[in-house]
Structure 1
């Protein structure tokens, strides 16, 4: 039953995954700019440093994006945890370009760097690497050089650079760059969320309802079988209540699209910090809500995530929990 429903959902997603939905632009900020630095949003974080961080992150993301455009459809050099978890030479090239920018700007300063390509595959390695990195420095760069590698390998224009920066474990700046659409999403703690310099807010969809739900919800199709089952159960359980589902293949893009109002919500039961950090801050600064799929507060260590415009968040949590879609399975449950 789940397999049949999954196929129907995939067909719906592929039919209109890249349809353009204009962002929800706030009319309270008409002039074009990057997200302003936080002032006292995170205790102890220096506003001038955050300005430098955001400027460096945007430069670095655009350099990585140039590489992605030039090398789209790159050959797979190996797989990670399983044949669905892919790596290309361009992932490493993009990460090196980002780190070079960070090292040049913050030479001699205490800035740690956690990039996906420096961490062994698997959730245990990711959790350990995050803990070590958070403890090693006040400022931590959390980087996914190509979020949506499978899309990238197939030359599908749905991949992004994701860069989040935390101060003592709390996110203070982030950017997601989609080089194919030349869309740069930026945010700072307390400073709002922006798309190409224009302030954005989450969408207005009010609630889930039994017949004409307004919510457009995205879900993941993770490579691991322990996460795939909860994803599929969550989609099947929620589908009668929402307008439609999308599966775009890039967590960073789906989170950014929630922040700018193109999507109402996005959930996935197992993601790494580098998949989520920048997008989580975008949603929070755009007026949305970011939690664990069970409704508990989001932090850098949260792997099961639900980001939404906030207006139907509790209803979505209740559905995911009831469908046993908020946590990883202990053994594969797909059929």
Structure 2
């Protein structure tokens, strides 16, 4: 069943990405509202994308639950809940920076079991099924993704992001400044889902972020895990307080460094 969920996520994700791509005007996109702070934005196209995804998923599987970033949750009875970010990287979307994604994950009592992430701007797609691996979609072909070995923290290219509320941003900025001398460099791409998929295939070597919601982490996190990446939080479970991820070759040392830097 889990592969069927991944294929459904792919089909719906592709349709939503095509809708967003078609609806995006030339130039900067108008902001419809803000959320946690004046810089945490949402557009009407975010809402359209989520409405489309909810309708398609619940039409195919009407007994499932649904948790999306922009709308009301739906309680299901099937034991499957869809966790969705209709545009992960909305600020990039608003400004026309080509790194924003549709992120769809199927979650059961066992955790995230199937995932699909598509970069709306480039069309790149990733998928994963729990215990069955991660892959890139090339049309309808699944090409396995395995994270390349990283052996030295000092050579690691680290992805990160920043919270939208000022006190947490200030703390994160200070922690990132302490981290920077110990690694190759830091990248702030602007989409957690794309960061985690990039980590899965070697575009990044490690990752740290605070403030991630379930829809930011669910799909990309499964892709990364199934590619061989270790993901933790302050304890074993990553959460809104902290998400830290790396190849097993550097995970223990890198995680200790992140915590020592004050994240």
Same fold (TM over 0.5): yes
How does the TM-score come out when normalised to structure 1?
0.72
Structure 2 residue 132 is the aligned partner of structure 1 residue 191: yes
| Match of residue 46, structure 2, among 77, 91, 103 | 91
Deviates more, 1:227-236 or 1:185-194: 227-236
Q: Assess if the C-alpha contact under 8 Å between 2:40 and 2:164 holds in 1.
A: yes
Aligned residue for 2:22? 70
Q: CA deviation at 1:189?
A: 0.4
Q: Assess if the C-alpha contact under 8 Å between 1:290 and 1:307 holds in 2.
A: yes
CA RMSD of aligned residues (A): 1.9
- Output the CA distance in 2 between the equivalents of 1:77 and 1:217: 32
Equivalent residues in 2 for 1:127-206, closer than 5 Å: 138-196=79-137, 197-206=142-151
| Match of residue 219, structure 2, among 278, 297, 310 | 278
Q: Assess if the C-alpha contact under 8 Å between 1:65 and 1:160 holds in 2.
A: yes
Q: CA deviation at 1:303?
A: 4.2
- Output the CA distance in 2 between the equivalents of 1:241 and 1:136: 48
Task: Specify the SS of the correspondent of 2:70.
Answer: helix
| Match of residue 115, structure 1, among 32, 46, 68 | 68
Task: Specify the SS of the correspondent of 1:138.
Answer: coil
Aligned residue for 1:102? 57
Q: CA deviation at 1:302?
A: 5.1
Aligned residue for 1:52? 4
Aligned residue for 1:241? 182
Q: Assess if the C-alpha contact under 8 Å between 1:74 and 1:90 holds in 2.
A: no
Q: Assess if the C-alpha contact under 8 Å between 1:218 and 1:267 holds in 2.
A: yes
Q: Assess if the C-alpha contact under 8 Å between 1:149 and 1:159 holds in 2.
A: yes
Task: Specify the SS of the correspondent of 1:281.
Answer: helix
| Change in CA separation of 1:62 and 1:282 when aligned onto 2, cut-off 3 Å | same
Q: CA deviation at 1:234?
A: 2.7
Q: CA deviation at 1:170?
A: 0.8
Q: CA deviation at 1:90?
A: 0.4
Task: Specify the SS of the correspondent of 1:161.
Answer: strand
Task: Specify the SS of the correspondent of 2:131.
Answer: coil
Structure number with larger C-alpha Rg = 1
Unaligned runs of 5+ in 1: 1-48, 120-128, 326-335
| Match of residue 297, structure 1, among 236, 241, 247 | 236
- Output the CA distance in 2 between the equivalents of 1:203 and 1:234: 26
Structure 2 residue 258 is the aligned partner of structure 1 residue 313: no
Q: CA deviation at 1:268?
A: 0.7
- Output the CA distance in 1 between the equivalents of 2:4 and 2:82: 13
Q: Assess if the C-alpha contact under 8 Å between 2:210 and 2:240 holds in 1.
A: no
- Output the CA distance in 2 between the equivalents of 1:322 and 1:137: 43
- Output the CA distance in 1 between the equivalents of 2:91 and 2:197: 19
- Flag the structure with higher strand content: 2
Q: CA deviation at 1:142?
A: 0.4
Could you list the per-position Cα deviations for residues 188-225 of structure 1 after superposition, in whole angstroms to 9, with x for gaps in the alignment?
Answer: 001100012210111222122xxxx2211011022122
Aligned residue for 1:61? 13
Task: Specify the SS of the correspondent of 1:118.
Answer: coil
Q: Assess if the C-alpha contact under 8 Å between 2:228 and 2:247 holds in 1.
A: yes
Task: Specify the SS of the correspondent of 2:225.
Answer: helix
